[in-house]
Every structure is written in structure tokens, then in C-alpha cells.
């Protein structure tokens, strides 16, 4: 701000999100999701040729059972996956893409009850 100007008197309030995991996950799921995202991304970061079988093996080695791993599919040079991490009424799930240094793992929200259903993805 140039010298001599006075700052606006109106306080700017950030707009709260209205959709997405930041609204749908409770504090426990949000915190746990951060930890899961970090450990999975680190484990997949250096994986060359991330095939569904290799990604499943790494997820299994991290302690994620096959019944929690969904939607493993090859998409170009990446392998996409969903993890059902719902626990005690929580809604936490992770949506990941294993692609070496371009690996991304993000929180998502699943229905609190009932079978886990992988969302439709765009390839």
C-alpha cells in the first residue's frame, strides 16, 4: 500500500467452503487424513512404473487391507486408487494417483454408512 494511504476499514472475511471434504469430514477424520496422505504419498513417490499390482503391494505393506482398497486402475502412466478409511461413523476416504514425483493423495468424504462406492472418474 503506498505511504499515506489508509487501509480500508471493512474487515475482509474469508468465505467458508460449502462443499468438499473440508466441510464433510469431522476434525478427527481431517487430522487422520493428513497423516494418511503424507505416509502414502511418501511411499509411492519413488515408485517407477506404478502398476495397480505394485501400488496394491505398497498399500498392503503400509497396512491397508485389500477390502479397503478400491478402484485400482491404470490411467496412462499413473495408477488411480481410492481408500476407504471410514471408522466409528467417520467419512474419511482418500483419492490417490500414483505417478512417481507427480503422485497426489487427497482426502475425500464417503457416505458414513453402507458399502463404500467408488465415485466415477474421468480418465
pLDDT in tens, 72-95: 999 999 999 999 999 988 999 999
Distances (CA, A) of 112 to 69, 85, 99: 17, 11, 29
What average pLDDT does range 46-71 have in this prediction? 96
Instruction: Say how far apart CA 12 and CA 25 lie, in whole Å.
Output: 26
Instruction: Say how far apart CA 113 and CA 104 lie, in whole Å.
Output: 26
Residue 5 three-state SS: coil
pTM of the model: 0.77
Amino acid at each position: 500500500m503506498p505511504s499515506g494511504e489508509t487501509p480500508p476499514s471493512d474487515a475482509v472475511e474469508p468465505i467458508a467452503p460449502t462443499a468438499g471434504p473440508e466441510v464433510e469430514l469431522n476434525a478427527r477424520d481431517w487430522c487422520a487424513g493428513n497423516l494418511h496422505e503424507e505416509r502414502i504419498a511418501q511411499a509411492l513417490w519413488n515408485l517407477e512404473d506404478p502398476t495397480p499390482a505394485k501400488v496394491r503391494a505398497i498399500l498392503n505393506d503400509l497396512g491397508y487391507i485389500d477390502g479397503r482398497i478400491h478402484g485400482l486402475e491404470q490411467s496412462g502412466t499413473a495408477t488411480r486408487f481410492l481408500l476407504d478409511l471410514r471408522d466409528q461413523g467417520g467419512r474419511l476416504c482418500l483419492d490417490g494417483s500414483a505417478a512417481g514425483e507427480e503422485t497426489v493423495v487427497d482426502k475425500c468424504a464417503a457416505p458414513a454408512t453402507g458399502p463404500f462406492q467408488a465415485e466415477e472418474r474421468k480418465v
